[in-house]
Amino acid sequence: MGLTRLRRRLDEIQRLRWFRIVVTVAVLGAAGGFFGSLLAIRTNWDRQAEAISAKLGGEEAVTWGLLLRDDGEFTIDGRTYSAPLDVIETLVAEDGSTQDVQRVVFLLLRDSIPDWAPRWLLLETSLAWQLMALTAVVGVAIIWMGLLVPVAMLLLGGSALAAVFWVLGWSQWIGVPLAIGVLLSTYLMLIRGLQLLLSGRRGWMAVAHTLLWEASRTRLALAFVVTLLIALPLLPLSLNLEAPIDQVVQAYLARSLSLAFLVTAFMVLLLGCGTICFDIRDRHIWHLTTKPLGRANYLFGKWAGVMLLGGVMLTVAGSWSFGYIQFLRTSNLPRTTAEFLAQEDLLNDVLVARTSMKPVYEELDEAGMTGRIDQIILEDPAFADYAEADIPLSTYRTLRKRVYEEFDQQRRRVETMRDPATVPWKTLHFEGLGDARAKGLPLRLKFRLYGGLSDEHNRCLIGVATGDDLSDAVLGPFIPTLPQHIDIAPSAINEDGSLDVSIVNLTQHEPPKGDEWRGPIDLQPLAMSGGNRDPFAVFWLEDEFEIGYPDGTFGTNFIRGLLVLWLKLAVLAGFACGVSTTLSFPVACLVVFSAYAAASIAPWLSLSMVAYGAGNDSPETVGEYIQWGIEGTVRTVAGTMVYLLRRFGELQPIDQLITGKMVTWAWFREALGMALMWGGGAMILGWIVLTRRQLAIYSGDQ
């Protein structure tokens, strides 16, 4: 009772106008002080960087460069700057010339930043300004929305727990309770903000508004919210921070976003089913439908509330993940060459939005297919007893499948020079690169090759050429089964936006030492010449050979990715709300979770169906008939499921974000279409049921 009274008293105090004004001034002052200090540090950093750049890039650059290379330090304006000698040697040449002045400056000033100052904010001052504005807005919003007491209690509680961890010496745990407090506060603020947005007088707004209360006060949804907001700050503890930074970031992105989507999807499904089923079961709907609230409005309000709640959870989780990635990216400044390379890979391969193209492969037309089948029938002794028209349909289908698979493998395969039927290179045609050509964006060919024993400890030689001419190409090593890349200049792109890339099989040659690609060299004679190794055919999988170029920032790509995830949640919410107008809670849950699982595995199921085979078209015995019936049923059900749900499973923006690929607006439109078609369709069916369903029951005793 005492705590309740205290809380009420504090709540009353925070509603006082003078109190709000005082706290507002304090928050604005704190935000200004913190970020102002950061900006001052950055200004000082820029001044020193300018002085170092002037020395290393000026007339006496060589002198200063040699001084740095020899001593690992020098003094400018009375201040000494130093760096590890092994790193300096990779950046300053023996003649004293500096290859990358900015990197040297960065290295020399790495210790001039106070420990408390976030590096990533210092690196990007525009972000610091934005965060200062955001902090001020959020702080003022918390105060004037009446959330100061709960937020302060959460932050104080988190701080107290962090202090306990600090005293116990559990340094890696210190940030966890603070982060949980921040995340819960953010969640509260967003929910309150949404409720303000939904404070209109429309019926669906009232329903959605109340659903947010339901989610915040009942165990069903709250369990998921708390689980997610506690698990997210714990995730960093699962990371191997000794690994290269690009892999650490990829691992965190994958885990945090996958966890956020999974937990939110479960919550959306349960809450979507529960809120309507329980309204009907507990007869709340008697109150609602005897008010001037149309049933479409009721259903739409429930859907909007569930969807918005999912959006809030994704926003909180996404903001946290994005912020933590920036922290990871900038908090561990690279000191060794490997760290620099990892940092480069992070920026070029992960924290980027890369538009990717796959080769336009040759297609097998019907004439080609028929010709090849006829050839097999003629040549294969197994078919010697058949007249052409007598071949069973199932056998014919098997042959078609075999021909197509052979053709598909052949177009992703480069034979060796020892195969007299073909040449040891394959030219792949890319299209749609006009934008990269116009903007002069560098291309990156990413591939993963297989061949021989596909042993990752093996190193082999491969050549890459652009255009038809193999005389101006590069060669270098490749390691089977490992992903690799090679950069291509945008000038290689044709005027029509197409690009031909030839892969030359040089596996009969010894690979060069080191990882550098070498060229130009005429690959044709090299490929046709003999070598001292046993060559093998090289091939790749369809999804593992593509060319791409940076076409946007990671931030905007990240937002698009979250939007696509949110629209997928909207599909689930619509489905859950629609189904729960008809079924009881347990049955509705069973249906929607089954559908969600089916949609998630539909892409893999699609692959499985290829292996499932064509089946026996001419059963003769009872057993064969039974088998035919079962297989046909399974194939029909699976085929329908794949046809309806595969795209839901294929739209995986998290995979795109992890690999630095663009989540295009086309994805967004597709997800929106899915939300409207599937989510909206389920809602319309639910509305039809709800308008025809008699919500009351017979309560008499006859």
Partner 1 sequence: MQSKNDTLIVEARGLTRAFRDFWMRTRALAVDHIDLDIRSGEVFGLLGPNGSGKSTTIKMLLGLLKPTSGRLSVLGRPPTDVAVKRHIGFLPEETYLYRYLTPLETLDYYGRLFGLRRADRLRRSEQLLEMVGLAGVAHRPVGEFSKGMMRRIGLAQALVNDPDFLILDEPTSGLDPIGTRQVKDLILDLRQRGKTILLSSHLLGDVQDVCDRMVMLYGGRIRAKGTVDELLEDSERTVIRTGHLDQATIDRIDEVLRASGQAIEQVERPRQQLEELFLDIVEAARRERAETSGATEGGQTAAFLQEGPVQGEAVIEQLEQSVERQQVARVIDPSTATADDGGEAVLDALLDAPETPPAKAKAVPPAAPSNVDASLIDSLMQDDASDGDKPGTDA
Residue 211 Cβ vs partner 1, minimum distance, rounded to whole Å: 10
The smaller minimum CB distance to partner 1, of residues 283 and 518, is found at: 283
The tokens describing 119, both together, are 């590096």
The smaller minimum CB distance to partner 1, of residues 238 and 699, is found at: 699
The smaller minimum CB distance to partner 1, of residues 283 and 439, is found at: 283
What is the Cα–Cα distance from 303 to 317, expressed in whole angstroms? 21
Ordered DSSP codes for 655-685? HHHHTTB---HHHHHHHHHHIIIIIHHHHHH
Who contacts 5 (Cβ-Cβ below 8 Å, separation ≥6)? none
The smaller minimum CB distance to partner 1, of residues 79 and 281, is found at: 281
What is the Cα–Cα distance from 302 to 309, expressed in whole angstroms? 11
CA torsion through residues 141, 144, 145, 150, sign:
positive
User: Judging by DSSP bridges, how do beta strands 353-357 and 473-478 pair with one another?
Assistant: unpaired
The smaller minimum CB distance to partner 1, of residues 212 and 461, is found at: 212
Residue 209 Cβ vs partner 1, minimum distance, rounded to whole Å: 8
Residue located via tokens 């508004």: 209
The smaller minimum CB distance to partner 1, of residues 583 and 601, is found at: 583
The smaller minimum CB distance to partner 1, of residues 293 and 304, is found at: 293
The tokens describing 345, both together, are 């890979």
The smaller minimum CB distance to partner 1, of residues 10 and 51, is found at: 10
Residue located via tokens 């550098």: 516
Residue 575 Cβ vs partner 1, minimum distance, rounded to whole Å: 24
Three-state SS at 538:
strand
The smaller minimum CB distance to partner 1, of residues 210 and 343, is found at: 210
The smaller minimum CB distance to partner 1, of residues 286 and 361, is found at: 286
Q: Are 147 and 194 in contact (CB under 8 A)?
A: no
The tokens describing 231, both together, are 């698990």
Who contacts 120 (Cβ-Cβ below 8 Å, separation ≥6)? 127, 326, 327, 329, 330, 331
Residue 207 Cβ vs partner 1, minimum distance, rounded to whole Å: 8
Q: Are 544 and 359 in contact (CB under 8 A)?
A: no
The smaller minimum CB distance to partner 1, of residues 610 and 696, is found at: 696
Residue 206 Cβ vs partner 1, minimum distance, rounded to whole Å: 4
Residue 231 Cβ vs partner 1, minimum distance, rounded to whole Å: 25
Residue 10 Cβ vs partner 1, minimum distance, rounded to whole Å: 14
Residue 193 Cβ vs partner 1, minimum distance, rounded to whole Å: 17
Residue 280 Cβ vs partner 1, minimum distance, rounded to whole Å: 11
Question: Before 520, cis peptide (omega within 30)?
Answer: yes
Residue 290 Cβ vs partner 1, minimum distance, rounded to whole Å: 5
Residue 292 Cβ vs partner 1, minimum distance, rounded to whole Å: 4
What is the Cα–Cα distance from 72 to 589, expressed in whole angstroms? 66
Ordered DSSP codes for 392-461? -HHHHHHHHHHHHHHHHHHTTEE--TT-TTS-SEEEEEE---HHHHHHTPPEEEEEE-EETT--TT--EE
The smaller minimum CB distance to partner 1, of residues 281 and 429, is found at: 281
What is the Cα–Cα distance from 145 to 615, expressed in whole angstroms? 65
Residue 370 Cβ vs partner 1, minimum distance, rounded to whole Å: 57
Residue 596 Cβ vs partner 1, minimum distance, rounded to whole Å: 27
First to last CA, the chain: 49
Residue 224 Cβ vs partner 1, minimum distance, rounded to whole Å: 16
Residue 267 Cβ vs partner 1, minimum distance, rounded to whole Å: 17
Alpha helices per DSSP H over 452-584 = 523-528, 554-580
The smaller minimum CB distance to partner 1, of residues 146 and 613, is found at: 146
The smaller minimum CB distance to partner 1, of residues 230 and 296, is found at: 296
Supply φ then ψ for residue 415, to 5 degrees. Answer: -75, 170
Q: Which amino acid is at 503?
A: I
Ordered DSSP codes for 57-88? HSTTHHHHHHHHHHHSEEEETTEEEE--HHHH
Residues of this chain that bind partner 1 (CB under 8 A): 199, 201, 203, 205-206, 209-210, 213-214, 217-218, 282-284, 286-294, 694-696, 698-702
How far, CA to CA in Å, does 199 sit from each of 143, 148, 192, 206, 208? Answer: 19, 21, 10, 7, 10
Who contacts 688 (Cβ-Cβ below 8 Å, separation ≥6)? none
Three-state SS at 391:
coil
The smaller minimum CB distance to partner 1, of residues 279 and 349, is found at: 279
Residue located via tokens 């309740």: 4
Who contacts 177 (Cβ-Cβ below 8 Å, separation ≥6)? 157, 158, 159, 160, 161, 162, 165
